[in-house]
Structure 1
């Protein structure tokens, strides 16, 4: 078998593989649309900065919005006693700000056990 024949044989196999791959992809794509039992009908989220929707999160990301704030005072934390400038002190924070979910203090933990 000369080089030209080897090249023809290689191209024939490559074209056959390509045809088979396209057929498998076509079958997969048609099956996903028909047989996919998962449908997203809604989405909710809560992030720092008062973000309560996917669109709001996108706005924060695109706009480069800073959602870092001081420690919330409605969580029952000793905000002043929480700070220690030395990193690694157990039960303390060496920072005075963070990304906090707005009004998380109203979460009903007892309801969820």
Structure 2
């Protein structure tokens, strides 16, 4: 079976107050990072740095998006940098819950 000249993919990025999903056709053999750049999504989010942004496909992070070649129908997800360390945030929430419980038992 012949490989298609182009494939249809989606590129998505979201902030708390603004989200964008773009559908585009890219040449067969296009990498995740190339598709993100071709989409023009960086123009919609001035603080987005596509050269360093972490990316994934359908919720699974991809370590080297510049090397991962896309397949028909895949969705490139561009991830925001974490504001807080997830482990530290969990510790703080657990401490808060423990404090509320302790105060309730007094």
Q: TM-score range by the shorter chain?
A: under 0.3
User: Larger relative CO (CA 8 A, sep 6+): 1 or 2?
Assistant: 2
Q: Which has the higher helix share?
A: 1
TM-score using structure 2 length: 0.21
Answer 1 or 2: which has greater strand percent: 2
Normalised to the residue count of structure 1, the TM-score between the two structures is 0.20
